[in-house]
Amino acid sequence: MTSIRGALALSLAALSLALATPPGSAAGASASGAGGAGTSTARTSALGARTEGAPAVTAEEARLDRPAPREILRRSGFDSLAPRFAEELSGSGSFAAAERTVARYGSGLWRRAVDRAQGRGGAGGGLSRDDDRPLYWSRLALTRELRAWQPRFGIQEEGRARLLDRLERASRGQDSIRYPAGKGVKRILLTGFDPFTLDRDTRISNPSGATALALDGTWLRTSDGSLARVETTVFPVRWQDFADGTVERTLRPHLPEVDLFTTVSQGRPGRFDIERTNGAWRGGFPDNENLSRTEPVPVDDPGTQPQWTTTTLPYTAITAASTGRFPVYDNTSVTELPAGSDTPVVRPGGPTPGSTARAGGGGNYLSNEIAYRATLLRDRLGLNRLPGGHVHTPVLDFGPGNTDPATGTVTDATFVRNRLDIIAQVRAIVAVAAGAR
């Protein structure tokens, strides 16, 4: 996510930033791009039964009917999950039975996506194994079925919300983080994100999510020779989920037990960045529900909320190491309102005393926010010496001749190579960070 340059750039910050947004991507991210989501109260489920009075599909779920998501699901073999899920839900005779079905399908989806990414089991089709998109679109197919389901025993809004939350958490690996007991093993926690800016191009993949699938439950040898276990999870690109505390709820039980954590998202073209400073400001770029928020980052106990938090990742060791083909930078720039001023100023060297945040090094979208929330949680838990912070990956590009979403294919050789190289370099960066002294 590119830093914001000047007052005009501030108003467009999230357009040039992305967990981060690739250049020019903002044009397609309008709030009208939901394909009519949120207006219909009747739809056809995977079983073909008309569901009258069911809650409307979300903007994310509405995109499932576009050609690229359908092809991604078909070419990965994930297209059969939603019909089976809908059938099992329809046979549930009680809320408890439905909850068991939801939990089983959610955790099963996460495990299947991880296994596929790590070479276990069949690929299910011609889509490369490193692809994160089957997980994303399958989850939405399941939530759409769950949202439309009308059980014989009746269900209240609160009950459906509970089931949707259970499905979300399980299918993101948020409730399956487990580390081995005992000494002699380092423990690493890594987070990724869903694809986003999908109204611009529904083919988009997010290399941070692909990295999470590739590394979940794996072992690596750190730069100091130690053995480390990596556990991962993936977060949604939705402002409201963050305001509801999904980051803190997921990370709080594990930060005291890990030796290092890093949040990861897609950033600037052609480079990695270790973001030095995170800011307490939301810049307003639309999320995957086409909703916008421009406000301070909402957290518990706002009276003690700092404007800035700082990485404790060993950025000097990381930037000095040979980790892959992309350059890695220590990014210190922020955008602030200086003390006593209401004019945004870009500070290449970091914030000045008493300033108010308008963008961290990673901008003012959800990548900055997850870094801010994770490092604030670290500090509030008194874990000030725990290495942790944010890594921005390069933008994942399609190959030459395949950049137009109207005519392009859902994958190509350059696209796959770029994603594999990014995954490998994140793994190498984590190994350096966990071994630094």
Residue-wise pLDDT for 273-303, tens only, equals 999 999 999 999 999 999 999 999 999 999 9
> d(Cα 230, Cα 429) in Å, to the nearest integer?
13
Q: Give the model's pLDDT for residue 437.
A: 76
Residue 25 clears pLDDT 90, i.e. is over it: no
Share of the chain above pLDDT 70, in %: 87
> d(Cα 86, Cα 325) in Å, to the nearest integer?
45
> d(Cα 375, Cα 258) in Å, to the nearest integer?
14
Query: Strands 328-331 and 294-296: what pairing?
Result: unpaired
Q: Give the model's pLDDT for residue 32.
A: 27
Residue 147's φ and ψ, nearest 5 degrees, are -70, -30
Query: What letter does residue 71 receive in the DSSP assignment?
Result: H
Residue-wise pLDDT for 46-64, tens only, equals 433 333 445 589 999 999 9
Query: What letter does residue 56 receive in the DSSP assignment?
Result: P
Residue-wise pLDDT for 132-150, tens only, equals 999 999 999 999 999 999 9
Residue 22 clears pLDDT 70, i.e. is over it: no
User: What does the mean pLDDT of the chain come to?
Assistant: 90
Distance of CA 200 to the CA centre of its chain: 18
> d(Cα 345, Cα 348) in Å, to the nearest integer?
10
Least confident of 53-57, 229-233, 421-425: 53-57
Token pair for 114:
């991880």
Residue 6 clears pLDDT 80, i.e. is over it: no
Q: What is the mean pLDDT of residues 27-51?
A: 33
